Amino acid sequence: MSSKLLGVFAFAALWLAAGPAVADCKPLSLVASVDLAPTDDLRPFVPVTLSGRPKLMLIDTGGVATVLTQQAADELGLKPTQGMLELSDIAGRKTSKLVHSPLTLGRLSAQNMSFYVLPDDHAIDEPNTAGIIAPDVLSNYDVEIDFGSRKFNLLSQDHCEGKVVYWPTEFVAIIPFLKMNSGHIQFKVMLDGKDVVADFDTGAYVTTLTRSVAVDDLGITVGGADTPRVGSLTDSADAAVYTHVFKSLDLGGVAVSNLNVVIIPDMTRTVRRRAAAPPVGYRLSDKRGDEADQAMLLGMNILRHLHIYIAYNEQKIYITAAGPPPAAPSPHATP
């Protein structure tokens, strides 16, 4: 089977997912569909209504909890309460404040949606953006994002298994994953010929790799000429950030060459390992709670070239090339 090139991407040794309908098996059912908001940001923002006001929210497949910014909570007059969880981001900032608001996304609506509130110093640069929609919401549906045609869909999970790629395409890659208790998805990729545990992160501009795996497993020397320091996550000396160009990434048959990856400290590994420990009196830990081995987040420098379908119940990702961009309006069209 021939390969199909897309920039630095090569769709090789892939298979078609289309097929005849199966008896006593439900077809796909659309729950909500919206166009991605036109922004200067590579990441996917969707239009929503919060407490009756139009806002944008970031679709973050690598997030944990659906959140609002402190500014949005204040603007909407939402009174915080104490949540049952304490959330921590990659830089160690914590929050446990919880608010509630009506939310509408396309034709999907919730009257009393729960949101954690981001720390005061955590802002989202895109104007009119109120917060982040994370896997605690997304994993209740199948999630489809076509970054080419700028479309975001939520679909029912009650459908024929494996019959999800309904759009015209020559090839499709199918990647099995493990759905974690957090809603994150974990799967293996090959980075410069070595297995690395990865996740999709539509909330990240770039692809990242933890420093421990880069150094211990891949033999990278951080601070060298080919891996210069480019900044820091926090003021801590242990939070240095580096960049490195890897020769190859194999994503279930989708090949990416000369990939620029940001190498970051793994500041939450200990917390993730502790959270996965078995309760007192038990010997077996829950592998779906242990995310300590996740080392790589595939960000928008990769995902923007793709059309992805995350089937959370099937625990499979379907990947094709991104569709064509939406047609520009005719200059002679009348509103």
Indicate if the pLDDT at residue 113 is higher than 90. Answer: yes
Q: What pLDDT sits at residue 271? A: 44
Give residue-wise pLDDT tens across range 252-271.
Answer: 888 999 999 999 998 654 44
Token match 């204040």: residue?
A: 74
Whole-number pLDDT of residue 1 = 32
Q: How far apart are CA 66 and CA 84, in angstroms?
A: 14
Report long-range pairs for 112-118 (Cβ below 8 Å, ≥24 apart): 113/66, 114/66, 115/66, 115/67, 115/68, 115/73, 115/78, 116/65, 116/66, 116/67, 116/68, 116/83, 116/85, 116/87, 117/67, 117/68, 117/69, 117/70, 117/73, 117/80, 118/67, 118/68, 118/69, 118/70
State mean pLDDT over 317-329.
86
Kindly state the average pLDDT of the residues 42-67: 95
pLDDT of 280 over the 50 cut: no
Mean pLDDT of all residues belonging to the chain: 84
Q: Are 134 and 183 in contact (CB under 8 A)?
A: yes
Amino acid at position 96, single letter: S
What whole-number distance in Å separates Cα of residue 214 and Cα of residue 209? 7
CA distances from 208 to 17, 51, 116, 241 (A): 30, 35, 25, 10
**pLDDT for 146-168, tens place per residue?**
999 999 999 999 999 999 999 99
Q: pTM for this structure? A: 0.84
Better-predicted residue by pLDDT, 299 or 325: 299
**Half-sphere exposure (Cβ direction) of 317: Cα atoms closer than 13 Å:** 26
Residue 85's pLDDT is what? 72
pLDDT surpasses 70 at 177: yes
Return the minimum-mean-pLDDT range out of 2-11, 138-147, 162-171, 281-290: 2-11
Name the pLDDT band for 68 (thresholds 50, 70, 90): very high
Q: Please tell me the predicted confidence (pLDDT) of residue 269.
A: 47
